């Protein structure tokens, strides 16, 4: 039996090519660079696509992507294992939801009405009972608006009634438009002679609907992000909607929030960073005496916040990112301390998901150094940075702080807190020259973050879990995710290890007493963002797989990519630190890639591209190409054949440099090269 036709949700977007999208974001006060505008458009498009999927689920609707041009972004919008919703007239070899629309040369603002009309007409003529078009510039559009509009159109179609759905936008236009199939014969009049890009779009469309005797359903007013002022509003206040409905925009906003400050703050900020980075000469000191003394000298900021602490060989940063989302869903003001940073020092210290400001870094560095001098203390870089974070969180009134352990646990500065809940994400062999060369020795160092009589949880599996049980049986395994949460994490299509990290985070949140039902937790986990961890940015995948366990966690994802597109070459842009297990990482990754491109990240401890090529070039199809940015540009611009999947991995420093290049950010920040972890 032929299934009944389904209502459609259509995403109408331009290709994210610098200079061809979001042109108004590159004009006027607060203008973005073309590269930043492309990042914004790419992230907005992915977020709207995700929202359409959530609306379609349970309503029997399908999604369509209509976009000009061609870009790897669109592969991410419909992952290989997603149910295909290919348009009826898509060519046989097109991927699911293949782009279909006017060519870029015809994508001016004056053509928007024609594109809207074509999107609706084509789908309704193909048999859809109703269709709703949403633009890529509405990333914070409330799901309730979309659901109500789709329900109204579907009900009208079933009753044989014509109906037009419009959503008034703050600038005089509208953020969505839809038709029931019975409205199609009279709908062309809606788009004739409308002044697109002006403030009269909605009024003129309503006049034409009245003239054509077409009933109109109006959604509540909302806003598009079309100008720098709109984007500033989104950055400053966030969408005016419940936390569970907030958009997931990732790197698009990082490009703006992590941009260098303007003079005169730029000089003060660079001087503060230089002062911190100079402390790397003291190395990675493992001693709690100095952090405890620093805390006392600063007035005991640790006593003014509640703490959870997360350690582990791999996955602790991801677990902390999940925890941040869960804290937001629970309505808590939560800080997060992580290491290392990728492109900006300010990534290490965030509050409510926002990085510490440059001004607060300048103020905090001065406070920390003054306190250390008064107490006669000599600090390492990590100790000073940790103290800055503790001071900042207390000053800003954080309720909770999520501390990611830097190295080990027992003597790490983060362990100076008194955590209410402690967690270990995984146990593996890394930093063996400091922590020991057996899993049991490493587990013992990490287990020391637990406190007697307080919850201690782990997401470790296999031999790592066995080693932890042997030395610290008081750590209990995090329970599996509830079904709703498991579905939310599965939809992210991340490596399987993320399921363990998410389960650990939820167990920690509940042990801490955060009020979260399963549905609230599922929505929070569905908004997981962790820069540089299987992150897609401007057609390039980034992942900080710097040791063998991390590389092994990538292999299921790589296998899925190869299975979905066997003809597509996979190119791995690889760089590493001199002290890392490069053979172990390559043994996991190399069987799943077609070519390795060796690069030299910009930091002192990196293994040079030429050295890597000399050591391993005879084993793999590879070539050296020292400049990271130039390598990515060349790979993206190469013609002929199918565009490759590009994966940058091997070092957090490399991923940071590549990410800065893709985001249009200066690297290194403040022109300060550092080996700080």
Strand pairing category for 400-404 and 334-337: parallel
**What spatial distance separates the first Cα and last Cα of the chain, rounded to whole Å?**
60
Task: Give the C-alpha separation, 331 to 513, whole Å.
Answer: 12
* φ, ψ (nearest 5 deg) of residue 334: -125, 135
Between the ranges 70-79, 497-506, 534-543, where is the mean pLDDT highest? 497-506
Kindly indicate the confidence band of residue 416, based on its pLDDT and cuts at 50, 70 and 90: very high
Query: How is residue 438 written in tokens?
Result: 């057996």
* φ, ψ (nearest 5 deg) of residue 631: -60, -45
**Are 655 and 574 within 8 A, CB to CB?**
no
* φ, ψ (nearest 5 deg) of residue 400: -130, 150
**Are 489 and 528 within 8 A, CB to CB?**
yes
Model pLDDT, residue 462: 93
% residues pLDDT > 70 (the chain) = 89
Query: How is residue 112 written in tokens?
Result: 């928007």
Model pLDDT, residue 327: 95
Q: Which domains does the chain have, with CATH numbers?
A: 8-245 (3.90.550.10), 258-530 (3.40.1190.10), 534-671 (3.90.190.20)
**Are 99 and 67 within 8 A, CB to CB?**
yes
Task: Give the C-alpha separation, 400 to 397, whole Å.
Answer: 9
Kindly indicate the confidence band of residue 82, based on its pLDDT and cuts at 50, 70 and 90: very low
Residues contacting 72, CB < 8 A, separation 6+ = 536, 539, 540, 643, 645
* φ, ψ (nearest 5 deg) of residue 132: -130, 125
Flag the least confident range among 19-23, 170-174, 421-425: 19-23
Say whether pLDDT at 89 is over 70. Answer: no
Of 153 and 528, the one with more pLDDT: 153
Look at residues 477, 308, 273 and name the one whose alpha carbon lies nearest to residue 401.
308
Residue-wise pLDDT for 335-390, tens only, equals 999 999 999 999 999 998 889 999 999 999 999 999 999 999 999 999 999 999 99
Of 102 and 86, the one with more pLDDT: 102
Between the ranges 7-21, 79-93, 100-114, where is the mean pLDDT highest? 7-21
Model pLDDT, residue 194: 82
SS percent in the chain: helix, strand, coil, step 5: 45, 15, 40
Residues contacting 502, CB < 8 A, separation 6+ = 319, 322, 481, 485, 489, 525, 528
How many helices and strands (H and E) does the chain possess?
A: 24, 20
**3-class SS at 201?**
helix
Angle between helix 518-526 and 316-329 (nearest 10): 130
Model pLDDT, residue 220: 93
Model pLDDT, residue 250: 73
Say whether pLDDT at 116 is over 90. Answer: no
Flag the least confident range among 133-147, 575-589, 615-629: 615-629
Q: What is the largest CA-CA distance in the chain?
A: 82
Model pLDDT, residue 307: 98
Residue 353: alpha-carbon gap to chain centroid: 12
Model pLDDT, residue 392: 98
Kindly indicate the confidence band of residue 68, based on its pLDDT and cuts at 50, 70 and 90: low
Say whether pLDDT at 159 is over 70. Answer: yes
Model pLDDT, residue 74: 66
Of 181 and 136, the one with more pLDDT: 181
Kindly indicate the confidence band of residue 153, based on its pLDDT and cuts at 50, 70 and 90: very high
Model pLDDT, residue 529: 81
Kindly indicate the confidence band of residue 102, based on its pLDDT and cuts at 50, 70 and 90: very low
Residue-wise pLDDT for 36-67, tens only, equals 888 888 888 888 988 898 899 878 899 988 87
Neighbours of 583 (CB within 10 A): 12
Model pLDDT, residue 443: 93
Model pLDDT, residue 130: 97
**Are 133 and 177 within 8 A, CB to CB?**
yes
Task: Give the C-alpha separation, 127 to 121, whole Å.
Answer: 10
β-sheet bridge partners, residue 596: 572, 622
Task: Give the C-alpha separation, 48 to 45, whole Å.
Answer: 5
Model pLDDT, residue 84: 38
Task: Report the side by side order of strands in the sheet with 400-404.
Answer: 354-355, 349-351, 334-337, 400-404, 306-311, 421-424, 456-458, 476-477
Model pLDDT, residue 497: 78
Q: What is the pTM of this model?
A: 0.87
% residues pLDDT > 90 (the chain) = 56
Residue 289 CB-density burial (10 A; 0-12 exposed, 13-18 middle, 19+ buried) = exposed
**Are 428 and 546 within 8 A, CB to CB?**
no
Length, in residues, of the chain:
677
Strand pairing category for 540-543 and 533-537: antiparallel
Kindly indicate the confidence band of residue 237, based on its pLDDT and cuts at 50, 70 and 90: low
Model pLDDT, residue 243: 61
Neighbours of 134 (CB within 10 A): 25
Residues contacting 163, CB < 8 A, separation 6+ = 152, 153, 156, 157, 179, 180, 182, 183, 214, 215, 216, 217
Say whether pLDDT at 108 is over 80. Answer: no
Residue-wise pLDDT for 481-532, tens only, equals 999 999 888 877 777 778 999 999 999 999 999 999 999 999 889 888 889 9
Of 423 and 490, the one with more pLDDT: 423
Model pLDDT, residue 93: 33
Residues contacting 255, CB < 8 A, separation 6+ = 32, 35, 36, 39, 40, 663, 664, 665
Q: What is the mean pLDDT of the chain?
A: 87
Task: Report the side by side order of strands in the sheet with 595-598.
Answer: 533-537, 540-543, 645-649, 570-574, 595-598, 622-624
Of 571 and 626, the one with more pLDDT: 571
Cα–Cα separations (whole angstroms), residue 379 to 14, 275, 276, 642, 672: 51, 11, 9, 52, 19
Of 65 and 218, the one with more pLDDT: 218
Average pLDDT on 563-592 reads: 91
């Amino acid at each position: 039996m032929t299934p009944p036709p389904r209502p459609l949700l259509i995403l109408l977007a331009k290709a994210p090519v610098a200079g061809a999208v979001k042109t108004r974001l590159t004009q006027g006060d607060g203008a973005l660079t073309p590269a930043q505008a492309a990042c914004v458009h790419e992230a907005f498009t992915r977020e709207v696509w995700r929202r359409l999927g959530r609306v379609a689920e349970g309503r029997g609707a399908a999604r369509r992507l209509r976009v000009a041009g061609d870009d790897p972004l669109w592969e991410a919008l419909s992952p290989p294992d997603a149910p295909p919703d290919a348009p009826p007239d898509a060519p046989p070899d097109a991927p699911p939801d293949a782009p279909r629309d006017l060519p870029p040369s015809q994508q001016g603002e004056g053509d928007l009405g024609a594109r809207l009309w074509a999107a609706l007409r084509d789908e309704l003529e193909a048999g859809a009972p109703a269709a709703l078009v949403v633009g890529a510039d509405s990333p914070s559009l409330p799901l309730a608006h979309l659901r109500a509009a789709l329900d109204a159109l579907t009900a009208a179609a079933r009753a044989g009634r014509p109906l037009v759905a419009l959503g008034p936008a703050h600038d005089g236009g509208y953020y969505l438009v839809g038709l029931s199939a019975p409205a199609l014969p009279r709908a062309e009049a809606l788009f004739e002679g409308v002044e697109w890009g002006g403030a009269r779009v909605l009024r003129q469309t309503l006049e034409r609907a009245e003239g054509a005797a077409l009933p109109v359903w109006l959604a509540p007013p909302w806003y598009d992000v079309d100008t720098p002022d709109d984007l500033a509003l989104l950055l400053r206040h966030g969408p005016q909607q419940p936390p569970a409905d907030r958009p997931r925009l990732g790197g698009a906003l990082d490009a703006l929030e992590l941009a260098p400050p303007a003079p005169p703050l730029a000089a003060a900020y660079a001087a503060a960073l230089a002062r911190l980075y100079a402390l790397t000469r003291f190395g990675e000191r493992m001693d709690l005496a100095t952090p405890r003394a620093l805390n006392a000298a600063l007035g005991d900021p640790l006593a003014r916040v509640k703490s959870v602490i997360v350690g582990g060989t791999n996955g602790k940063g991801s677990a902390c990112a999940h925890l941040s989302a869960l804290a937001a869903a629970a309505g808590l003001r939560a800080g997060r301390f992580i290491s290392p940073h990728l492109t900006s020092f300010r990534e290490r210290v965030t509050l409510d998901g926002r990085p510490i400001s440059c001004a607060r870094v300048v103020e905090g560095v001065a406070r920390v150094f003054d306190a250390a001098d008064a107490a006669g203390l000599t600090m390492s870089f990590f100790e000073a940075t940790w103290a800055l974070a503790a001071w900042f969180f207390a000053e800003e009134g954080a309720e909770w702080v999520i501390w990611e352990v830097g190295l080990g646990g027992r003597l790490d500065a983060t362990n100076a807190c008194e955590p209410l809940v402690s967690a270990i994400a995984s146990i593996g062999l890394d930093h063996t020259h400091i922590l020991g060369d057996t899993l049991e020795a490493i587990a013992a160092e990490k287990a020391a973050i637990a406190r007697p009589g307080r919850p201690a949880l782990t997401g470790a599996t296999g031999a790592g879990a066995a080693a932890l049980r042997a030395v610290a049986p008081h750590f209990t395994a995090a329970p599996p995710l509830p079904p709703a949460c498991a579905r939310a994490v599965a939809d992210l299509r991340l490596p399987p290890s993320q399921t363990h990290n998410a389960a650990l985070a939820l167990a920690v949140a509940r042990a801490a007493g955060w009020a979260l039902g399963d549905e609230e937790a599922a929505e929070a986990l569905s908004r997981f963002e962790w820069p540089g961890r299987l992150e897609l940015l401007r057609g390039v995948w980034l992942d900080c797989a710097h040791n063998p366990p991390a590389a092994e966690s990538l292999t299921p994802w790589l296998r899925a990519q190869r299975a979905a597109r066997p003809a597509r070459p996979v190119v791995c842009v690889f760089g590493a630190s001199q002290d890392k297990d490069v053979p172990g990482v390559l043994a996991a990754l190399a069987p799943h890639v077609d070519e390795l491109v060796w690069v030299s990240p910009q930091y002192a401890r990196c293994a040079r591209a030429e050295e890597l090529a000399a050591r391993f070039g005879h084993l793999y199809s590879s070539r050296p190409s020292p400049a990271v940015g130039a390598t990515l540009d060349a790979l993206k611009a190469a013609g002929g054949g199918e565009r490759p999947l590009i994966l940058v991995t091997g070092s957090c420093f490399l991923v940071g440099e590549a990410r800065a290049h893709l985001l249009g950010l200066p690297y290194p920040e403040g022109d300060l090269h550092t080996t700080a972890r």
